[in-house]
Amino acid sequence: YETAHRPDVGLAVARMAAHVTYVSEQSLQAKFGRARSGDTPRFGADFEVEHYLDHQGEAFLQRFDANTYLYLSRAMDYFQPLARPDALARLAEGHTRYLLISFDTDWRFPTAHTLAIAVQLDAAGASVQASEIASPFGHDSFLLEVPAYHEAVRTFLAS
């Protein structure tokens, strides 16, 4: 903020790289395949997926200030809900039921991490239900229309 320079290029490139991990390879392949925007090979954006990622980077700059994003990213990096010695006991002493859902194509939060949390909650005596849902959309599955996900949440809330 002390200078007139904003790290927009870095933030856009970081978003483009991260975006690839939020969607699955299957999803990108279905959406773009090897489609190109022209007939002549060139450096720069040549494939449709590159144009899409460029757009994602630019759109991100309109929604986030780079410093805000850095603080949010660090908060997520340091987030350890079960790090305190009394955390599990405190979670189990309430009457809260836990539903943990993962998606089979999520690289950001894979099912193994979700199951590790479920094992810890269960060992502490908490009421926990964990399930993995098949989806071609990767980490972004929770944002999209995945019927099995919505049904799992609906069933859990109704029980």
Question: Long-range pairs for 77-86 at CB < 8 Å and ≥24 separation?
Answer: 82/117, 82/120
% of residues, the chain, pLDDT over 90: 25
Q: Which residues on neighbouring strands pair with residue 36, listed in sequence order?
A: 47
Asked whether residue 59 carries a pLDDT value surpassing 80, the answer given is yes
Asked whether residue 40 carries a pLDDT value surpassing 80, the answer given is no
Q: What is the pLDDT of residue 124?
A: 87
Return mean pLDDT, the chain.
85
Q: Which residue has the higher pLDDT, 20 or 60?
A: 60
145 CA to centre of own chain: 15
User: Global pTM?
Assistant: 0.67
Q: What is the pLDDT of residue 77?
A: 86
Asked whether residue 41 carries a pLDDT value surpassing 80, the answer given is no
**What is the spatial distance between Cα 103 and Cα 99, in angstroms, rounded to a whole number?**
13
64 CB-side CA count, 13 A = 21
Q: Which residues on neighbouring strands pair with residue 132, listed in sequence order?
A: 102
> pLDDT for 71-130, tens place per residue?
888 888 888 878 888 888 888 787 889 999 999 998 888 999 999 999 988 988 889 999
Asked whether residue 132 carries a pLDDT value surpassing 90, the answer given is yes
